[in-house]
Amino acid sequence: MEKMVNVYFFGKKYQVPESLTIMKGLEYAGYQLVRGCGCRNGFCGACAVIYRIQGDRELKTCLACQTKVEEGMFVATLPFFPLVKQVYDMEKIKPTEMIMMQLYPEIYACIGCNACTKNCTQGLNVMQYIAYAQRGDFTRCAEESFDCVMCGVCSTRCPAGISHPQVALLARRTYGKYIAPICEHLNKRVDEINNGEITKLLEDVMNKPIEELKELYNHREIEK
């Protein structure tokens, strides 16, 4: 028999196998997840939850699909982690420090507490990419925040009210549009797709047996 642990979901006590993640533990306890379950592999950021271990006063945050249940764990979910999302036109903004100041001025109120970094579910150096954003360094901000899944956990503990994921998204969009080198062969392929030039090729690929697709994938040419 697998060892069971006592957990509390929404204030109710359940016994679930200790090998399960919080998400699977919820389903084991009988909950049907229709929201906040996303990819189930830590890539979409939809399953952020808050929890506290019995006897420990610290309130913690995590992704339910990545974190295993623990004895005496009290788990609660929120419908979403609120973020301030400013509206802007990518055709009109420019890659300058001023655009950050106009859209997300709260980043300049950062007190350097590093709570955002400590709570990041992906282990990103969040405070560092906010520092890059403050300086208008879109390239480094984009690189440092590249693996952000927009879960919003970092922002829940920020005393300055910074919406870190939205700042990072603006940096990556700006970098991609104005700073990154133009990828001519990608633009060419997009045009081919839009013009219907590879429709037949796609149909051929979709009709191939799964083993042949695996072989093609394993021996594909990888761009340097």
The arrangement of strands across the sheet holding 48-53 comes to 12-17, 4-9, 73-77, 48-53, 60-63
Sign of CA dihedral 43, 61, 174, 127: negative
Residue 79 pLDDT greater than 70, yes or no: no
The pLDDT confidence band at residue 224, using thresholds 50, 70 and 90, is low
pLDDT digits (tens, 9 = 90+) for 133-159: 999 999 999 999 999 988 888 998 899
pLDDT tens by residue, 108-139: 999 999 999 998 988 899 999 999 999 999 99
% residues pLDDT > 90 (the chain): 57
Q: Are 107 and 100 in contact (CB under 8 A)?
A: yes
Task: Report DSSP state, residue 208.
Answer: S
Assign 182 a pLDDT band (cuts: 50, 70, 90): confident
Q: What is the pLDDT of residue 186?
A: 86
Distances in Å between the Cα of 97 and the Cα atoms of 12, 145, 146, 152, 180 are: 49, 17, 19, 23, 17
With a cut of 80, say whether residue 1 has pLDDT above it. Answer: no
The whole-number pLDDT of residue 48 equals 87
Domain boundaries, the chain: 4-77, 97-179, 184-218
The pLDDT value given to residue 170 = 96
Of 102, 109, 82, nearest to 165 (Cα)? 82
Mean pLDDT (the chain) is 90
Rounded Cα distance, 29 and 139, in Å: 45
pLDDT band at 61 (very low <50, low <70, confident <90, very high): confident
**Percent of the chain's residues with pLDDT above 70:** 97
Architecture field, domain 4-77: Roll (3.10)
Rounded Cα distance between 151 and 129, Å, is 16
The pLDDT value given to residue 97: 84
User: Helix, strand, coil shares of the chain as percentages rounded to 5?
Assistant: 40, 15, 50
Q: How many CB atoms lie within 10 A of CB 202?
A: 10
Report residue 129 as tokens.
Answer: 């990419």
Radius of gyration over alpha carbons of the chain, in Å? 22
User: Residue 162: pLDDT band by 50, 70, 90 thresholds?
Assistant: very high
Give 188-223 pLDDT, tens digit per residue: 989 999 998 888 888 998 999 999 999 988 988 876
Q: What is the mean pLDDT of residues 76-94?
A: 85
Q: Are strands 4-9 and 73-77 parallel, antiparallel or unpaired?
A: parallel
Question: What pLDDT is attached to residue 44?
Answer: 82
